Chain A
Amino acid sequence: MARKISMKQAINEAIDQEMARDPSVIMMGEDIVGGAGGDGERDAWGGVLGVTKGLYAKHGDRLLDTPLSESAYVGAAVGAAACGMRPIAELMFVDFMGVCFDQIYNQAAKFRYMFGGKAETPVVIRAMCGAGFRAAAQHSQMLTPLFTHIPGLKVVCPSTPYDTKGLLIQSIRDNDPVIFLEHKNLYGFEGEVPEASYAIPFGEANVVREGKHATVVTYGLMVHRALDAAAALAKDGVELEVIDLRTLSPLDLDTVLESVEKTGHLVCVDEAHPRCNIACDISAQVVQQAFGALKGPIEMVSAPHTPVPFSPVLEDLYIPSAAQIVAAVRRSLAGGRQ
């Protein structure tokens, strides 16, 4: 054990192992091989940030560079999935989903229900998400609530290399369409990852830190902000319980409810915009199902209702911070009933 790799390497390893295991797994996307058709090196890029580098050498033409045509190739991935393949389609940035959204929410998501339970569409659509890259309004969004809203889609957003590998392997093996979102500011984040293949089941949240005074529920990069907040509050004797949802659809509400029953205080943190986001959803469901357990108001910490700004100063203000989470926890504790 104790082998540490980055989230980027964990993605590469998951795809590599699944392609070796199952010949029906194929992958397509812009520059995922890189250099196709040119006179220089094939496999030059391995994706815009090098995530799939080296896979072409091992798996050949099962990795396909595509024209810059998200509608066509994401739709092709969906169509191939309906015809017995297990395609992984990569969009560089989740922001580009707008270009091909019909193929995701009107086609892939609806086939099973709309065709009376007689279709399976085992497609994985991977993309980078999240702010902090100085990439501005069209390359920095989360958009997780958009996909979570759609019946028929599963939505995954991991926070560690270990979860990334296990959840991506599960996504590829899963028989439903999966939106797999990788926070770009975690690509270099390293953690312990077993070399052997393993799958993490969907719908199982992870209690990443146990505590008794308040619960923070979040996912993706914000898990790390919540852990920072927990470390700061611990100095004052406040013990936070931090829950990483890992998958937004399906949602493990039971783990959240159990924690709230214990702590009585809940802060929901979401890097997405504040209206109709994951924090709102969790808050509403906890109020409905565990109102009696709450000893204080539920607090929410989200990005503001603005596009992601370019200016580094503004972007740093935009992204929810550990300090905001600390303040939210204090508000909930201060507003508590006895």
Chain B
Amino acid sequence: MADNPFPQSRDQLLQAYRTMRTIREFEERLHIDFGRGDIPGFVHLYAGEEAAAAGIMMHLGSGDRIASTHRGHGHCIAKGVDPLAMMKEIYGKKGGSCEGKGGSMHIADLGKGMMGANGILGAGAPLVCGAALAAKFRAQAGQPSDVAISFVGDGASNQGTFLESLNLAAVWNLPAIFVVENNGYAESTSRDYGTAVDSYVDRAAGFGLPGVTVDGTDFFAVHEAAGEIIARARKGGGPAMLECKMVRFHGHFEGDAQTYRAPGELDDIRSHHDCLKKFAAAVTAAGVLSAAELQAIDHEVLGLIERAVVEAKAAPQPTQADLLTDVYVNY
């Protein structure tokens, strides 16, 4: 093997690829199975955006919290939520991450620091202020300096909750990071139509926060920028914003015909802006990872996803007794 020109170790690069490939295969399988009518409800796929989740979450431990979006599967997988439990959840089955009571838009695993995908756009940002405040109190009591990260799309970045949270995090100097996943579309409406400023760095500055924009399809760029912002927050340097410019391989939701896209747009982003292809090309060209190593991961991941689907389909349905449980801790 050649000398490693990347700041990440070989093991970290293998981990990053495995995370991104797991998200990709999870989502592409959901796309197929949703089309077959196997999956109830709404599904919003993260395929195409994997480098952001992987590049950011590699800096986090289980004490660090994240709040996700309606497009949350990628964040869950990258934060360490069990894909087998996730698949059961998406099928609405017992043994799912939320025992079938949450579904795709509400997968959470608080033990892993995953505070939930969220069906309400922008709602995660205030929650992350609270998680960061709790982390700040814990750090003052001598515990590790954890951070909290709010993910938001370019669309939901116009919600008042998000904008208020930028200010609250700044005035309380919270270890909170706001990641804008800019995939160019607020559902079907273009980012440029719905957001007056071009730069999220400008918007962050308006709230007194530092901001960085990176190519969100470049794992290495995301990893580096996120690392600096997260390290700064851990040292008490306060909140920051990270804009990841990225592409969405699928529609807003499954079933979206995507007629708002330009002709040839989907072919172009899959051909030229696929974060997994870019990552694989970089690491193999540098001779750090071999094509065979990547293929072995591909093979393992396909097996994992197949197993997840088989187990999800075989898992028991919730029963009438489950309808009324867990509304309260005590009532």
Which residues from chain A sit less than 8 Å from chain B, CB to CB?
23, 26, 62, 64, 66-67, 69, 71-85, 87, 102-103, 106-107, 111-120, 151-152, 154, 174-176, 203, 250
User: Can you list, as one digit per residue, whether each of B112-139 has a CB less than 8 Å from chain A (1) or not (0)?
Assistant: 0001101110010111111101110110
- B167 interface residue per 8 A CB criterion: yes
Report A-chain residues with C-beta under 8 Å of the C-beta of B167: 67, 69, 72
Could you give 25 example pairs across A and B, Cβ below 8 Å? A23-B141, A67-B168, A69-B168, A71-B126, A71-B160, A74-B126, A75-B127, A79-B128, A79-B130, A81-B130, A83-B115, A83-B131, A85-B133, A85-B134, A103-B127, A113-B101, A113-B326, A115-B106, A116-B326, A117-B99, A118-B98, A152-B328, A154-B328, A174-B330, A176-B330
Distance in angstroms between the alpha carbons of A77 and B109 in the assembled complex: 19
User: Can you list, as one digit per residue, whether each of B303-331 has a CB less than 8 Å from chain A (1) or not (0)?
Assistant: 00000000000000000000001111111
Cross-interface CB contact of A72 among B99, B118, B161, B325, cutoff 8 Å: B161
Q: Is the CB of A114 within 8 A of B120?
A: no
Q: Is the CB of B330 within 8 A of A87?
A: no
Chain B: which residue is nearest A74 at the CB level? B126
Which residues from chain B sit less than 8 Å from chain A, CB to CB?
65, 67, 96-102, 106, 108-111, 115-116, 118-120, 123, 125-131, 133-135, 137-138, 141, 148, 160-161, 164-165, 167-168, 171-172, 325-331
Report A-chain residues with C-beta under 8 Å of the C-beta of B106: 114-115
Total residue contacts A-B, CB cutoff 8 A: 153
Q: Is the CB of A82 within 8 A of B329?
A: no
Report B-chain residues with C-beta under 8 Å of the C-beta of A62: 137
Q: Is the CB of A75 within 8 A of B110?
A: no
Distance in angstroms between the alpha carbons of A83 and B96 in the assembled complex: 22
Q: Is the CB of B164 within 8 A of A72?
A: yes
Q: Is the CB of A115 within 8 A of B130?
A: no
Q: Is the CB of B165 within 8 A of A72?
A: yes
Chain B: which residue is nearest A85 at the CB level? B134
Chain B: which residue is nearest A64 at the CB level? B172
Report A-chain residues with C-beta under 8 Å of the C-beta of B118: 107
Q: Is the CB of B120 within 8 A of A83?
A: no
Report A-chain residues with C-beta under 8 Å of the C-beta of B65: 83
Distance in angstroms between the alpha carbons of A112 and B329 in the assembled complex: 8
Q: Is the CB of A116 within 8 A of B99?
A: yes
Chain B: which residue is nearest A87 at the CB level? B130
Report A-chain residues with C-beta under 8 Å of the C-beta of B115: 79, 82-83
Q: Is the CB of B329 within 8 A of A85?
A: no
Q: Knowing that A71-B161, A85-B137 are A-B contacts, what are 9 other residue pairs whose CB atoms are under 8 Å apart, sorted by A's residue number?
A: A69-B164, A73-B168, A76-B168, A83-B130, A85-B130, A103-B126, A115-B101, A116-B101, A174-B329
Cross-interface CB contact of B168 among A66, A113, A119, cutoff 8 Å: A66
Q: Closest CB of chain B to A12's CB: distance in Å?
A: 22
Q: Is the CB of B135 within 8 A of A83?
A: yes
Q: Is the CB of B126 within 8 A of A117?
A: no
Q: Is the CB of A82 within 8 A of B331?
A: no
Report B-chain residues with C-beta under 8 Å of the C-beta of A76: 126-127, 129-130, 133, 165, 168
Chain B: which residue is nearest A28 at the CB level? B133
Report A-chain residues with C-beta under 8 Å of the C-beta of B134: 79-80, 83-85
Distance in angstroms between the alpha carbons of A33 and B261 in the assembled complex: 52
A76-B133, A78-B127 known; A119 vs B110 contact (CB < 8 Å): yes
Report A-chain residues with C-beta under 8 Å of the C-beta of B131: 79-80, 82-83
Q: Closest CB of chain A to B182's CB: distance in Å?
A: 22
Distance in angstroms between the alpha carbons of A75 and B130 in the assembled complex: 7
Distance in angstroms between the alpha carbons of A115 and B99 in the assembled complex: 8
Q: Is the CB of B102 within 8 A of A115?
A: yes
Q: Is the CB of A78 within 8 A of B98?
A: no
Distance in angstroms between the alpha carbons of A80 and B161 in the assembled complex: 16
Q: Closest CB of chain B to A121's CB: distance in Å?
A: 9
Report B-chain residues with C-beta under 8 Å of the C-beta of A112: 326-329
Q: Is the CB of A176 within 8 A of B329?
A: yes
